[in-house]
Amino acid sequence: MFCVGCSPRDDIKLNDIQVEFTDFAETDSLLFVSLSEEIIEEPSEMKLWYNFLIINDFNKSGDNFISFYSLEKNEIIETRMNKGMGPGEMLSCSINILGDDLWLYDMSKSNIVCFPLLEISNDRLKPLQYQLSKYYYDIAMLNDTIMVGSNDLTINKKISFVNIKNGDIRYSGEYSYVNPNIPMSSFIDACNSYIEVNPKTKDILLAYRYTDVIEIYDSEGNLKNSVHGPDCFEIKFQPGSYGMRKTKETRKAFVNAYVTEKHIYLLYSGCTREEKNWSDGNEIFVYSWSGVPEKRYILNQPVYSFAVDECSGYIYSYSLESSELIKAVM
């Protein structure tokens, strides 16, 4: 049986500048407490916009994906984006904020929707929609014309720069080495990553899901920094007919990401599939945009999504135990 990562030599080498580390400069604990007693659906993502938490949930109930939670009023004041196949509806959803615009990516329909956050209460508003020609695991907006996407399974490049208005695509991010016996769709799936953009410098982050590696690129797609740690484990999987097949040795690294102008925040699992918190994180790692590992937060409960307000010093999240919003002082 061919098992990638089980042999002594590397089957996948992400880049040539990667630096390993085994600890952070500082370690602290985060004590989450209740923010609201309102029971809500589990979020897949959270974003902060002024005094609002924008919550994107998994929508298992089949109603709306997006909720606008007022931190001032301590309640949900608006919901948006119905689940469905119809116009103005979505089958799946991930969110990005660029200035005062909310960008929504529907992987299932392969399109992007944009609407102004200043008009969230306007029921007559028709958001802008753009159709994409390919599928991506994750996307972020570089500006109002260029989207960056990760993990296009049809090409062996890490980042796609997509002009959403005319459809032009250019690629960046080379793999240093990939075993030629591995099908392309398998190794790209195994190299699955979250992608985020620095709101000021426009540097681009890739945070890998199955190895504790991050890569930082400039806005043109040139690799600037990469670090591997603190557990320094490699990607382990078996090639499947379409994508990767997880094994008992496959470990989950980062399960969610949040960035600010100053820092990178990554929710970390480190678990194998047979461990309880495989899909969730018990730690948040903090890096500078130069790739310096600055701080490790140990959480008092596992979470899946979070948002960071550096100005107020709070991290917001959702309790998987009580199904309510929670917060912690940084």
- Selected residue with higher pLDDT from 8 and 40: 40
pLDDT tens figures, 174-216:
999 999 999 999 999 999 999 999 999 999 999 999 999 999 9
Handedness of CA 118, 121, 126, 131 (dihedral sign): positive
Residue 3 in this model has a pLDDT that exceeds 80: no
Which two structure tokens, joined as six digits, stand for 164? 């959403």
- Which class is 12-329 in CATH? mainly beta
Name the residue among 158, 199, 162 with its Cα closest to residue 47: 199
pLDDT at 169: 98
- Give the model's confidence band at 320: pLDDT under 50 very low, under 70 low, under 90 confident, else very high: very high
Q: Are 34 and 322 in contact (CB under 8 A)?
A: yes
How many degrees, rounded to 5, is the angle at CA 152 between CA 147 and CA 157?
A: 90
Across 209-234, average pLDDT? 98
Question: In whole angstroms, what is the distance from residue 153 CA to residue 184 CA?
Answer: 7
- Selected residue with higher pLDDT from 83 and 296: 296
Across 113-128, average pLDDT? 86
The whole-model pTM stands at 0.95
What percent of the residues of the chain are helix, what percent strand, and what percent coil, each to the nearest 5? 5, 45, 50
pLDDT at 9: 41
pLDDT at 60: 80
